[in-house]
A and B are shown apart, each in its own frame.
Chain A
Amino acid sequence: MNLKVSKSLPAIGFVTALEDESHGYFGGYLVLSSLGRPLEFHCSTPVQPNQAQRILYGPTLRDYVLADLIGQTLLAKSQLPVQAVLTDQREMLGLSLLSDDLVACVESTGSSDLEVEPPSGPSLMLKDYRLFGTPSCLWQPEAFQTLLQSLISHVDLMEPFERIRAAIREAQRMTDPITDEEHGLADAA
């Protein structure tokens, strides 16, 4: 039963994934209020592509796993509607085709990722970050900036992804007593 409230609230979603060598991809989705306080959180069980899937999905594997499998599932689980969904992984931008939410990828202007040209969608500079989307992302930069104005006065835009990763690691640690180091958990981005 989908209890999702139809009208969006002054909340922003953050979605990201962690890649673990032995377990695969873990996803996490955090909804924050405009003050940066947590409202809702979901994380996923790991997705471990097998060899055949790696071969056959080829370079599209990460896009599929992150956006279609993990991102879509997590967003569907969330009951709080949000004004926008931010991610720190370009592969998640495929969510814009799968969800009605406004989706944007956040990258630090000092990040080496920026050397790779972003997709030719909407783009916006906010403080030390560049937000961008794919052509399928239907958001206007000015309106998007207004949406995030309150949040960025309280929250560093990359920080919530750290919270998500910490929570995923904790969830993984609780279900598997091996330490993080032994897991070799590393950011997927």
Chain B
Amino acid sequence: MVLPMPLESQPRPTQPRASHQRPDIHSLVGRAMHPEDCEVRELSAVISFEQSIECVEILSRLDDLAAVTVPLSFPRLKTVGMRFPAGSQLLEGRPFKERAPKAAPAICASIAVDSQVIGNEVSGAPTIPPTCTRIRPPRDVVKLEDRLYYLLQPPLEQIFASETLEFPFRPFKYQFDGVAFLYPRNEAVLADEMGLGKTMQTIVTMRLLVQQGHLRRVLLVCPKPLVTNWQREFALWAPELPITVIEGKQARREWLWENAREGVLLANYESLVRDRSCLAAIEEPFDLAVIDESQRIKNAASTTNEVVCSIPRKRSWALTGTPIENSVEDLVGIFQFVSPGCLRPQMKIPNIRRSVGDYIIRRTKDQVLTDLPPKMFRDAEVELTPEQQISYEMAEKEGVIRLQELETALTIQHVFELVIRLKQICNFDPSTGASAKFDRLKVDLEECVASGRKAIIFSQWVKTLDELRDRLQEFGPLEYHGRIPARQRDGVINTFRDDSSKHVILMSYGAGSVGLNLQFAGYVFLFDRWWNPAVEDQAINRAHRIGATGPVTVTRFLAAGTIEERINRVLEEKRQLFSAVFDGTPVRKQGLSRQEIFGLFDLRFPEAGILEEAA
């Protein structure tokens, strides 16, 4: 900018300015007070003063242009990678063929991969189901590579839709979830409610693991009455898996333990305990050990628990519909097998929930089987007949007096004896045979038979079942309890299912509460109540399970104003305990203490302060 100042026609000579002389730069105000000349020429300014002229050269020429480099290259990309066994096989130049099962003797034959004819018609390809169940690695798998191994497996629905594995029918979504849960776990508890298909889920998972080459030798332990049920289910869901049942005389069993080197070995708890020395001699651990009805090992101090825990194994799965029957200590016993050290006695419920959370999967019918016919409960509260009432009051009065007389010698066993005596009177009067429950039962059964349905009647005593058998002849009762030889039991079930003249089966809780599929029965009667609700639930679920075609009516008999009413309250408390561990609902009490057992008769507990689970 050129200021409006007078310019001289001739530039004055400039003189160098001494370094100590600072130029006077006048402001406009100063210029007005002290006239001066100022020349601006080609961006050089000459300032003239009155006395002397000092020229100052201001370098206003731009420097050379500086180039700024903007980095456009990206940092070097790093990768993480893994190769699957099949991929490695390909790289090593070995002929690669994905494992397909042997052809199963089923209605439509599988098409082997290498002989598969590929058509040009795309529409002929099977439809891939839209739902997508992925195998997710458990928390204890920590290596990234191992976690990715599971995540990158195809969804289970794709495997099921594939022609290389044949299944009798498509599982439910929750069953896919169960398989996806078991597949990656070395330690797992499948604790679905009875009737949701634990057997099927286990077999299918085994089949997939065998197909992938992860399993070669499996040991499955179950209660003896369920061995044939497992054989049947294996034939249905994994027909290509070789099954060896460990049974027969000792020499034969020893030979089988030693020589059955592939496939699934099926043993029952009783024979396993007898064959503990054979287990100890096994050099190569089983790839997988599965225990069915794992509540069998709930007592951590029992021989069965000790022997089961000694099975040499790489993976441990436990199956149970009732992981807690009486107290949380039941779960501790099961986890001694599944994941030793995971649970300790006396742990608090929130800690237990945290510790077992990643190992247990449990679903109930209410959660997953919205299509299952309803299960209706009827609490048949009956008044004792006058004969029963007299017998009951006399027995109770005498019994309590006897207990009180025992004083310090009184034990819980004495109390139980009285409880059992009273419960039996609630069923039948010992002197006259009168029974209010039976009278009611007979009426209900007539209705049941008239509608063409079948009924299961449970009692905890074979003696009661005998009495019922004699009185219910018109309904063609069948029997399934401890006195029926094991080899005859399958025939009994088949007759009950197929013979239209057989409407009633009499079962003991002990023999008939686990592993049986009786979904063709529409009525369940609990003639007397078991000590713990889990066993009752198992009994009920023989009928109320997948395949049930109609509603299941459960009638629970209860003699009003008797010991049965008091026990019923205890059962409800145990149900609360179960909910506290698995559903997280708060619990008021944790089972039945000795004091409470004694309290049934208003007796004082002789060793106050010591709590023990009673049932």
Contact = CB atoms under 8 A, between A and B. Distances in A.
Given A33-B98, A41-B152, A127-B122, A70 B82 contact: no
Given A41-B82, A44-B77, A152 B125 contact: yes
A38 interface: yes
Interface in B418-443: none
B74 A39 contact: no
Contact of A31 (B87, B116, B144): B87
Contact of B81 (A41, A53, A152): A41
Given A37-B86, A39-B87, A43-B80, A152 B74 contact: no
A116 B52 CA distance: 80
B151 A167 contact: yes
Nearest to B89: A39
Contacts of A187: none
B57 to A, nearest CB: 40
B390 to A, nearest CB: 69
Contacts of A11: 90
Interface stretch (B157-165, B362-370, B507-515): B157-165
Given A152-B125, A153-B163, A73 B77 contact: yes
A33 B153 CA distance: 11
A118 B490 CA distance: 65
A40 B79 contact: no
A175 to B, nearest CB: 8
Contacts of A171: 80, 144, 148
Interface string B161-176: 1111000000000000
A45 B158 contact: no
Interface in B76-105: 77-84, 86-87, 90-91, 93, 96, 98
A146 B121 CA distance: 10
B77 A45 contact: yes
B84 A38 contact: yes
B79 A42 contact: yes
A57 B70 CA distance: 12
Contact of B113 (A35, A40, A145, A166): A35
Contacts of B128: 154-156, 159
Interface string B44-75: 00000000000000000000000000111011
B132 interface: yes
Interface string A36-58: 11111111110101001100110
Interface residues of B, number: 45
Given A159-B155, A170-B144, A37 B81 contact: no
Nearest to B123: A127
A138 interface: no
Contacts of B96: 9, 33
Interface stretch (A74-82, A86-94, A102-110, A176-184): A74-82
A171 B155 CA distance: 19
Contacts of B79: 42-45, 73-74, 77
A74 B79 CA distance: 7
A162 B132 contact: yes
A51 B163 CA distance: 51
B122 A126 contact: yes
Contacts of A31: 87
B575 interface: no
Contacts of A44: 77-80
Contacts of B91: 3, 5, 79-80
A69 B77 CA distance: 8
A80 B83 CA distance: 9
B81 A42 contact: yes
B18 interface: no
A162 B125 CA distance: 21
B453 interface: no
Given A153-B163, A159-B158, A45 B122 contact: no
Interface in B116-164: 116, 118-120, 122-123, 125-126, 128, 132, 134, 144, 147-148, 151-155, 158, 161-164
Candidate in A41, A77, A174 with the most chain B CB atoms within 10 angstroms: A41
A163 to B, nearest CB: 5
B87 A40 contact: yes
Given A79-B83, A171-B80, A36 B154 contact: yes
A52 B82 contact: no
19 contacts: A35-B164, A40-B81, A41-B82, A41-B84, A44-B80, A47-B74, A53-B72, A73-B77, A80-B91, A152-B122, A152-B125, A154-B128, A159-B132, A159-B155, A163-B151, A166-B151, A167-B148, A171-B80, A174-B147
Interface of A: 3, 5, 9, 11, 30-31, 33, 35-45, 47, 49, 52-53, 56-57, 65, 69-70, 73-74, 77-80, 126-127, 145-146, 149-150, 152-156, 159, 162-163, 166-167, 170-171, 174
Interface of B: 70-72, 74-75, 77-84, 86-87, 90-91, 93, 96, 98, 113, 116, 118-120, 122-123, 125-126, 128, 132, 134, 144, 147-148, 151-155, 158, 161-164
User: Which 9 interchain pairs have the tightest Cβ spacing?
Assistant: A39-B87, A42-B81, A156-B128, A153-B125, A38-B152, A45-B78, A40-B87, A52-B70, A73-B77
